[in-house]
Amino acid sequence: MRKACKALIITSLTATLLFTLLIIAVYFGAFGPLPGEEELKSYKGATASLVMSGEGEIIGRFFSENRTNVNYRQFPSSLVDALIATEDIRFYEHSGIDIRSLLRVAVKSVILNDRGSGGGSTISQQLAKNIYGRERHGWLTVPVNKIRESLLAYRMERTYNKEEILTLYLNTVSFGENVYGIEAASRRFYNKSVEHLTTDESSVLVGMLAANTFYNPRLHPERAKSRRNVVIRQMEKYNYIQSAEADSLCRLPMALNYVNIESVNPAGYFLVRVRREAEEILQSLQTDTGKSPNLDEDGLVIHTTLNLSLQDHAISSFHDHLPAMQERLREQYGSRAGERLLLQILQREMQRQNLTGRSGDTVFMRIFDWDGSYNKSVTVRDSLMQALTLLHAGLAAMDPSTGAIKMWIGGIDYHTQPYDQVLARRQLASAFKPVLYAAALEQGIGPCHYLDNDSVIVENYNNWTPVNYNREFGGQYSLAGALSLSMNVPTFNLFLDVGFNSVEQMWYDMGFTFPLSNTPALALGTAEANILETAAAYSAFANGGYRVMPYSIESIVAPGGEVIYKRDTSDNRTRILSERSAMLMNSMLQKAVDQGTGAAARSVYGVNLPLAGKTGTSQNHADAWFAAYNPSVVIVSRAGASSRAIHFNYGTHGSGTALALPLVALTMRAAQQGNDLGNQLAADFPELPRELERLLECPGYREKGIIDRLRDYFRRDVITFVEEDEDPRPGLRSFFRRRFGR
């Protein structure tokens, strides 16, 4: 017995000595340096930057860790009570180390090697773990980390007061799902700020701290409810709430308002634009240390131009219109003839992507579907076929007076189709024509200038001939009539009159970037552009002739409230059109909406806002466009498959009127029904002066008179298109070119 006692004493003393030596070793940095009090004071955790809509709603976060810091005053008392009752009831009594818990850890975790016994750490110790993490040290991992956290907890208690420790803890603790801090968790699981949490909601979130995935209320609601009730009973036990309240809270069902804006975000494509613009802005800013603010870590607040209500209406327009059009396209390529054509296109595409030998390989992928996207194992061949027949669309809106981007829908689904259709460059088709007509107005050609509608053959371009959509020839159309009805033959004749140089200059002045080719088909819209460029270009008509640059960020605010960037609101617009030309163009394009190719916006969809616009349908209906505007908004849509080889066979489904216009019209119809948004978008066009009104007082179409018929007698119907455009008198040059082929 004496020997046993002696052995026990020696063992205990040895263990105590070794443990003391281990504490000393950890203290002096044998297992890595310990942060001092000065370093603790300067601690600043990575904080997510918030992206706000124009209305002040959070639409996104940029982060290395998804965390939003809040202060102690924002914590509801029930949250603090639940945390202390559950995690550290002696929090206000100890100095960072709870000796009773420490002894329990030493006995159970170290001596008995019971890993499931729980850590028993104080909140201060857990905070040390949250901030500095844990390292592996072999079989000494547990004791070294516990000692390290205890020493750090003691230093933290000397550095911070209790409220500051609670604030740091609740701002750094992990809730799983890449969510850090109570504010981000509150936003994720309850779609509200932490200050508005109820007692049962606070109890759910505190309960998650024991095991954030195991007690995740979205994944495991019953477990989360059970754990919530444990937290509530702890609050009852320590007299934070009365028994009757605890009983009532425990009976509440598990209710969430789960919002994950990182996975389901109405502005996913827009956020990519905001990030790019924000990084450019921040690179131009430097702090006192010579470093630029960090978008992912510095907790900035980025106020954007996006109108979330308009964005939501646009998303609804996609869901209202595109599923039916998608079904029609799939039906077309599901027919016998359509399937044969699709297989030919598929074979060419697989050869282009060097996938021919892998057609039978299986891939696991997320497949987009309007009824709900899903995961599925499919062959490479089938996945490519599905992708080829998928109908894409983009839609964007901006304020024409400032360039502020008000809405941005870059595609049908950001996560499965991340390529941004707003930035995709495609043939403009007839949406290009206003560029040509604007150049004509700038040359002094008036809206009542008549253009021939006779068939013309261009012999040096394989006898190419422009053809109207209705395939009719004859007579003459006024400039205004030809534009509103999108007539191709008169437009081609106008191109010959105006000349390539003038059109090219107008093209670049309006902000387009893709080079133009001086070919006959340019007049009908073979030029390529994206939706954003087109919206910016049409803004010049809406704002009286000025070019504006699109932008998405109004201001950037630092965590302390300092505005570190504010957009310059001074007028830096560039005039590219005379006010006269802009007003005449507005009148002609209003006619296109009221009586021409865009009339369905009014007659079918009931849009009654002031509106001008232009449709566009590229060759074989590969791309459909609609650009609409008034002085308060420009909104542009484009739709089509990713490959130009996949398209609707007929204009009844594939034209700009049928495919692209409804996206704009449905969005604006919904917008006009809201008082605030409707009023914002209802700005009317300036009234035309009488002298300009008179310039429009002519019929859009007329039969040819005797003089015109006599002139046609001497004119050749076959012309030679001259690509070189060096003559500074395009009108005279094109007159002879049209009449005599040179």
Complete DSSP assignment for 527-576: -EE-HHHHHHHHHHHHTTSEE---B-EEEEE-TTS-EEEE---S---EE-
In sequence order, the 6+-apart residues with CB closer than 8 A to the CB of 428 are 525, 527, 528, 529, 534, 616, 618, 625
- Tell whether 57 is covered by a domain: no
Residue 725's domain is classified under what CATH number? 3.40.710.10
Domain co-membership, 438 together with 374: no
Lowest mean pLDDT among 109-113, 300-304, 405-409: 109-113
- Tell whether 601 is covered by a domain: no
392 phi and psi angles, rounded to 5 deg: -105, 160
575-614: per-residue pLDDT in tens? Answer: 999 999 999 999 999 999 999 999 999 999 999 999 999 9
Domain hosting residue 709, numbered range: 430-529+704-742
**Is residue 7 over pLDDT 60?**
yes
Question: pLDDT confidence of 458, banded at 50, 70, 90?
Answer: very high
pLDDT at 42: 63
Domain co-membership, 372 together with 445: no
- Tell whether 714 is covered by a domain: yes
What angle in degrees, to the nearest 10, is found between the helix axes of 308-334 and 661-672?
150
Please indicate whether residue 372 or residue 143 has the higher confidence score (pLDDT): 372
- Tell whether 160 is covered by a domain: no
pLDDT at 573: 86
Lowest mean pLDDT among 285-289, 399-403, 724-728: 724-728
Which of 325, 356, 389 marks a domain boundary?
Answer: 389
**Is residue 731 over pLDDT 90?**
no
Distances (CA, A) of 666 to 326, 603, 621, 685: 17, 12, 21, 22
**Start-end of H helices in 160-267:** 162-172, 182-190, 199-207, 221-237, 243-251
pLDDT > 90 in the chain, percent: 67
Domain co-membership, 361 together with 447: no
pLDDT at 732: 41
- Tell whether 539 is covered by a domain: no
Q: Over range 531-541, report the average pLDDT.
A: 98
Q: Over range 258-287, report the average pLDDT.
A: 88
- Tell me which DSSP letter residue 87 carries: H
**Is residue 714 over pLDDT 60?**
no
Domain co-membership, 383 together with 438: no
174-212: per-residue pLDDT in tens? Answer: 999 989 999 999 999 999 999 999 999 999 999 999 999
Question: pLDDT confidence of 360, banded at 50, 70, 90?
Answer: confident
**Is residue 659 over pLDDT 80?**
yes
- Tell whether 356 is covered by a domain: yes
> What is the number of domains present in the chain?
2
Lowest mean pLDDT among 54-58, 114-118, 258-262: 114-118
Which of 325, 357, 389 marks a domain boundary?
Answer: 389
**Is residue 27 over pLDDT 90?**
no
670-688: per-residue pLDDT in tens? Answer: 999 988 898 999 999 999 9
In the block, tokens 């996609």 appear at: 318
- Tell whether 295 is covered by a domain: no
Q: Over range 340-364, report the average pLDDT.
A: 89
CA distance 389 to 405: 30
Domain co-membership, 379 together with 463: no
Most confident of 44-48, 111-115, 222-226: 222-226
Beta strands in 453-552 (DSSP E): 457-458, 476-478, 528-529, 546-547
Domain co-membership, 371 together with 449: no
Q: Which of 675, 681, 57, 659 is nearest to 395 (CA)?
A: 659
pLDDT at 8: 72
Q: Over range 477-496, report the average pLDDT.
A: 95
Domain co-membership, 466 together with 518: yes
Domain co-membership, 372 together with 434: no
pLDDT at 564: 94
- Tell whether 252 is covered by a domain: no
Domain co-membership, 525 together with 465: yes
277-293: per-residue pLDDT in tens? Answer: 999 999 988 765 567 89
Distances (CA, A) of 23 to 11, 329, 667: 18, 72, 67
**Is residue 110 over pLDDT 90?**
no
**Is residue 116 over pLDDT 90?**
no
